[in-house]
A and B are shown apart, each in its own frame.
Chain A
Amino acid sequence: MWFEDAALLSRILTAMTLSFHILYATIGVGIPLMILIAHWVGIKKNDEHYILLARRWARGFVITVAVGVVTGTAIGLQLSLLWPNFMQLAGNVIALPLFMEVFAFFFEAIFLGIYLYTWDRFEDQRKHLLLLIPVALGAAASSVFITIVNAFMNAPQGFDILNGELVNVSPLLAMFSPAVPTKVAHVMATAFMTSAFVLASIAALRIVQGSKHIYHKKALLLTMKLGFVFSIATALIGDFSGKYLAEYQPEKLAAAEWHFETEGEADLILFGVLDGDEPKYAIRIPFALSILAHGTPGAEVTGLNEFPEDEIPPLWIHYLFDLMVTIGMWLAFFSAVYVLGAWRKWPIIQKKWFRWLTVAAGPLALIAIEAGWWFTEVGRQPWILRGYMKTSEAATTSGQVDLMIILFAGLYFILGVGTIVVLSRMYKRNPVEKELAQREKADKGGGTE
């Protein structure tokens, strides 16, 4: 063992697993909806291109689902392996949504298998489309349930502690903690937004690479429209999340905003670096923090100085918060320009540099997802269960966590590289032009395959 701090090592391993998993999980939640929409538009417009879009997305989706499933299994077990004391407590209070998440996942797995293997099997395309609804619902539901578990860790309720023992446990009350509405809504909206931008990136990349096919243009416009809608939703819900934090977890908001003194008419601090207790080189937006926190410019915002020193989160979460918000704002603005430009036929959106910006949208959204989760998770330190259990009390006592970090780092490296290699091979070997030509030929020959 490098050093004796099993809690720190457990944190590193958990952070590594989750950071890797959420990339796939986010896509896993969002893409079924995108496939559903494309498939539906295809049927409605009777346009072969959209159907093919759904089909090709679905094919790539399987690869990301596979990695999502196995890394999800990993984090599921790691919770008990690395945080046995926490899971012992959580098992008593919050097992219900964990259990329900597995059901949702089960449901999704069954119908995804069916959807993937019944293309052209039904005469009526709409029947096949129906199979996708449980997939999208299952994916969304499992994200709802697992986010509920996370919300509980941020705002525990539904139990009492009497002489160190848990009493009066109410599973439903624990499930519907005050953090649930904003958290669940934010997770869903960002998952849809990110998936839309990731798919937009792929279409834009094909155009940049020189493909002139109308298929990519249709794909790009559809996904950018969806990305725009969901990024607006994300921004709105983000504002509610700020109000939630001010009310229930003021230390997180204060640390994110480097807000030390409790005061009214609080400034919002954008960017900057911290020099002791003084933010430097920052842009201050007057009243904005008060508005974010309570909706009025004069409202008083609780500062960090109100909290005991060993109960405040690290101050570097400010950078994560800024990164997340900045990317979110940029993507909302950028997709608005794109959609407007496509509608008004602005030549700018055809420019190569603009296309490259579009290519960047997907990776940017993924970075924002990472930053957002890091912010929310590091922002509740030192607690694993805010107000009840500190992270250091929850960790395993096992001495082998360091070796496991190396083991899993190797695994995630292989899975990450594998995903990229397999996906790019899959689409390069079978470009859309080739597939369309094949399908036309098959249609003329009278066959369906």
Chain B
Amino acid sequence: MTLEIIGISVLWLFLFLYVIVASIDFGAGFFNAYSAFTNKQHILTGIIQRYLSPVWEVTNVFFVFFFVGIIGFFPQTAFYYGTTLLVPASIALVLLAVRGSYYAFATYGAKINHRGYIYMYGLSGLLLPASLSPVLAMSEGGFIKMDGAQPYLDYWALFTSPLMWSIVVLSIAAVLYISAVFLTWYANKAGDVKATELMRKYALIWAGPAIITATGIIYELRSHTPEHFARIMDLWWVFAISFLLFVGTVYLIWKKKNYGWAFILLVGQFFTAFFAYGASHYPYLLYPYLTIYDSFTNESMAIALIIAFIAGLGLLLPSLYLLFRLFLFDKDYVKGKSDYHA
């Protein structure tokens, strides 16, 4: 395995982890808002806050890790993506900032329960994946163009592209689906029958759109980037495994059993699809300008980064384990029997 592959695998893994934890976070905000809208807020709010409060900050770090890491391993990305993404990334940043600080303001500070805020928080959770996902479309090529030596983003091509909009729809559907499955399991662990029932319903509703848009995107790539489509076809069996895992999750949720396994299968489904997609994108970071080879950092920096990464993981994994043990897997905490809030 070359250093380039190690680098991109590490980053892809962290992006994947961000997708999962952020989906839970974004979706939770939306479901909370939706339940307030339908006067069922009392059912969900407690469960959602107990999960999010100790971990919301950690969620954020996965994102920072990804973009700091990609500049470190692939400095050329700063030049292409940095120049072109100013507007979309700034909008995403503002949404992220408003969301993160609002969450802290509301839950730790003022205990704001005004509905307007709850709706805005929920809505921002859907706008965020929508504003981040065009980057995936851009990486397919055709949207970033060159003006001499300077790249620029062709907004018209981007906003009229069915591919971009399918990715946006997929990201929203996936966020709601992932979040609903997780919260079904979490509510069930808490022994909260009503919340479990509600989240189970949402999980089943969003399963369909998630899988349909995912398939649709593969189809659209056939005409957008035939080369990429061909490599996806080479990996068809991984996508098939992913689909089977999807069927397994839906089956378990439908049959109301083993919600824990349902969530694990869901993570497996997204993991396989995410890595198969990434592998089929290989070797391009930005088609056709950047491959992982021509944008890679010098060797001494790559080795230093990988050593730092291993040392960092040595510190992080036990800490994350402790965090999970104390909150996610602690019976009394999950059930809300004890409140140890500062």
Contact = CB atoms under 8 A, between A and B. Distances in A.
Contacts of B83: 84, 396-398
Contact of B54 (A65, A70, A78, A116): A116
Contact of B339 (A71, A107, A403, A449): A449
A67 B323 CA distance: 22
B319 A134 contact: yes
B53 interface: yes
B1 interface: no
A171 B71 contact: no
Contacts of A107: 315-316, 319
A411 interface: yes
Contacts of B105: 63, 66, 418, 422
A87 B301 contact: no
Interface stretch (B96-104, B123-131, B161-169, B210-218): B96-104
Contacts of B322: 110, 114
Interface string B303-332: 011001100100110011011001100000
B109 A425 contact: yes
A118 interface: yes
Contact of B65 (A71, A85, A102): A102
Given A76-B67, A105-B61, A411 B104 contact: no
A72 B94 CA distance: 12
A95 B306 CA distance: 11
Contacts of B333: 117
Contacts of B101: 66-67, 70, 415, 418
A73 B93 contact: yes
B69 A423 contact: no
Contacts of A103: 308, 312, 315-316
Contact of A411 (B79, B97, B300): B97
Given A81-B90, A117-B341, A415-B101, A426 B109 contact: yes
B108 A63 contact: yes
Contacts of A65: 57, 104
Nearest to A97: B308
Nearest to A398: B86
Contacts of A415: 97, 101
Interface in B57-71: 57-58, 60-61, 63-65, 67-69, 71
Interface string A108-132: 0111111111111100000000000
Contacts of B84: 398
Contacts of A398: 83-84, 86-87, 152
Given A66-B100, A169-B300, A84 B65 contact: no
B326 A84 contact: no
Interface of A is mostly: helix
Interface stretch (A54-62, A302-310, A329-337, A339-347): A54-62
B58 A55 contact: no
B235 interface: no
Contacts of B57: 65-66, 69, 109, 112-113
Given A81-B86, A96-B301, A414 B98 contact: yes
A1 to B, nearest CB: 13
A414 B102 CA distance: 10
Main secondary structure of the interface of B (DSSP, over half): helix
B76 interface: yes
A120 B340 contact: yes
Q: Which of B61, B96, B101, B103 has the most CB of A within 10 A?
A: B101
Interface string A150-176: 000000000000000010011110000
B55 interface: yes
Contacts, number: 237
B133 to A, nearest CB: 16
Contacts of A449: 338-339
Nearest to A175: B304
A87 B61 contact: no
A90 interface: yes
B196 interface: no
A407 interface: yes
Interface in B76-121: 76, 78-87, 89-91, 93-94, 96-98, 100-105, 108-110
A55 B82 CA distance: 41
A214 interface: no
B72 interface: yes
Contact of B75 (A83, A88, A111): A88
Given A105-B61, A166-B298, A77 B342 contact: no
B104 A66 contact: yes
A73 B64 contact: yes
Contacts of B80: 84
Contact of A117 (B97, B304, B340): B340
Given A87-B75, A109-B61, A421 B319 contact: no
A315 interface: no
B179 interface: no
Contacts of A425: 109-110
A92 B75 contact: yes
Nearest to A93: B301
A117 B54 contact: yes
B326 A70 contact: no
Top 4 A-B pairs, shortest CB-CB distance: A91-B75, A66-B104, A95-B72, A84-B82
Interface of B: 53-55, 57-58, 60-61, 63-65, 67-69, 71-76, 78-87, 89-91, 93-94, 96-98, 100-105, 108-110, 150, 152, 297-298, 300-301, 304-305, 308-309, 312, 315-316, 319-320, 322-323, 326-327, 333, 338-342
Given A99-B305, A134-B319, 11 more contacts: A70-B97, A84-B82, A96-B304, A96-B308, A99-B72, A169-B301, A171-B305, A415-B97, A418-B102, A418-B105, A422-B105
Interface of A: 55, 58-59, 62-63, 65-67, 69-74, 76-78, 80-85, 87-93, 95-96, 98-103, 105-107, 109-121, 134, 166, 169-172, 396-398, 400-401, 403-404, 407-408, 411, 414-415, 418, 421-423, 425-426, 449
